[in-house]
Amino acid sequence: MKFFVGYQLFAGSEFVKSIIKRKESISEVYFSWGDLPNGRSIQTDRSDMTPWEAQQKQFDDLKKISGSGINTNLLFNATCYGKDSLSKSFFEKVGDITDYCLQNLRLSSVTTASPLIAKFIKANFPHLCVRASVNMEIGSIEGMEYVEEYFDSFYMKRELNRNFLKIRELKNWCETNGKTLYALANSGCLNNCSAHIFHDNLVSHEGEILAMNNGYAFSGICHGFLKKKDNVYKILDNTGFIRPEDIYLYEDVFPAVKLATRVSSNPEKILRAYLDNRKHSGSVFDLLEPNHSGTIYPYVLENSLIKAEFDETGIRYTGIENSLIKLEEQL
């Protein structure tokens, strides 16, 4: 199995070196471009760089990654582009960015949450693979059938990650119809989150929102939910997280699995756990994006104490009550 790894400017040159060092295990490096809205914070917004310096650094890093022989994946995965969503000028910009990346980077695919961007890419760059973003929350055969003319591959809905029966059903349809199925392994988002679409839309408009005199701050309902200790015990039931120790169970299912590393404070730790060791000793939250460590401090959810039970139907994690320990006990 190979992995999709997210590029982040904030991690610096060492992370780029870590990616290149593990190139045999990496199928693609995915990235957002410049200040274009995407599914995470704007990658070129750094206090120690001008936007132009940050953009140049991003390009230089991606050039090194491409030069090492690793393919790249361009993200147009925001859930909202506001007034630009249908405009000709917006699609011209999408086309210009795609063409530029195609000419200068080892671009093999595009991931988007917009059926219209997918349609545009298919029409103008037919040799690029077009992938449905996990933000589309596709979790059924019907969901894939509705948009099959626009997409070559699909990220499966996070909530299904440990449901082997449903995964097989989706994979069988993909194989029959010439499509490919992928999964995101280490999301910290809550399953069936009532505020997920609202939060994704806020992120899409982050630049505009930060410029306003706002009445509220919103960082997600997951933080308030997990501050209640009883809810921490439900965290693995309430996420689609797949532990590094269990990723081998998907070897014959997914040709590659996506790792969320674009906003992690320690993406190198995620690479070590999944690509090198296939195990992790330490807090589960260190592997998740978003990371909830600060929410439950001074407790940690110790990954090595969690037990996994699995059969043909799926994976169930147990022993959570014994895995939540105080930080000083862990040390």
**Residue 190 domain-assigned?**
yes
pLDDT in tens, 117-154: 999 999 999 999 999 999 999 999 999 999 999 999 99
pLDDT for 45 beyond 80: no
**Which among 11-20, 141-150, 293-302 has the top mean pLDDT?**
141-150
pLDDT of 190-225, one tens digit each? 999 999 999 999 999 988 898 899 999 998 899 889
Q: Is residue 219 part of a domain?
A: yes
* Domain annotation covers residue 263: yes
- Is 299 contained in some domain? no
User: Within 13 Å and on the Cβ side, how many CA atoms surround 92?
Assistant: 3
* pTM, two decimal places: 0.94
Least confident of 143-147, 179-183, 218-222, 255-259: 218-222
Q: Is the pLDDT at 327 greater than 70, yes or no?
A: no
Whether 294 is in a domain gets the answer no
| 226-246 average pLDDT score | 89
pLDDT digits (tens, 9 = 90+) for 92-126: 999 999 999 999 999 999 999 999 999 999 999 99
Q: For residue 180, give the CATH number of its domain.
A: 3.20.20.60
Q: How far apart are CA 19 and CA 248, in angstroms?
A: 21
Instruction: Tell me the torsion sign for CA atoms 107, 11, 157, 250.
Output: positive
Give me the pLDDT at residue 75, please.
98
User: Is 23's pLDDT higher than 50?
Assistant: yes
**Whether residue 40 has pLDDT greater than 90:** no
258-279 mean pLDDT: 96
Residue 192, Cβ density class (10 Å: 0-12 exposed, 13-18 middle, ≥19 buried): exposed
Is the pLDDT confidence value at 252 over 90? yes
Strands 2-6 and 129-132: unpaired
Q: What share of the chain is helix, strand, coil (3-state, %, to 5)?
A: 45, 20, 35
Token duo for residue 147? 């948009």
For 165-176, the pLDDT digits (tens) are: 999 999 999 999
* Residue for token pair 């582009």: 81
pLDDT at 328: 59
Q: Is the pLDDT score of 300 beyond 60?
A: yes
- Distance from the first to the final alpha carbon of the chain: 33
pLDDT bin (cut points 50, 70, 90) of residue 44 is confident
* pLDDT on residue 294: 87
Mean pLDDT of 57-77: 97
Provide the 3-class DSSP secondary structure of residue 270: helix
Q: How far is Cα of residue 92 from the mean position of the Cα atoms in its chain?
A: 26
Q: What percent of the chain has pLDDT over 70?
A: 98
- How far apart CA 181 and CA 253 sit, in angstroms, is 8
Q: What angle do CA 6, 12, 14 make, to 5 degrees?
A: 90
Residue ranges making up the domain that contains 190: 2-225+239-287
Q: Got the DSSP string for 75-97?
A: EE--S--GGGTT-HHHHHHHHHH
Q: Does the residue 301 lie in any domain?
A: no
Mean pLDDT of the chain: 93
Q: Which amino acid is at 96?
A: D
Residue 331 has a pLDDT of 43
Least confident segment among 238-252, 289-303, 307-321:
289-303
pLDDT on residue 41: 73
Report how many domains make up the chain. 1
% of the chain exceeding 90 in pLDDT:
76
CB crowding 110-142: b at 16 or more within 10 Å, else e: bbbbbeebbbbbbeebeebbbbbbbbbbbbeee
Structural domain contains residue 31 = yes
204 C-beta neighbours (distance < 10 Å), count: 21
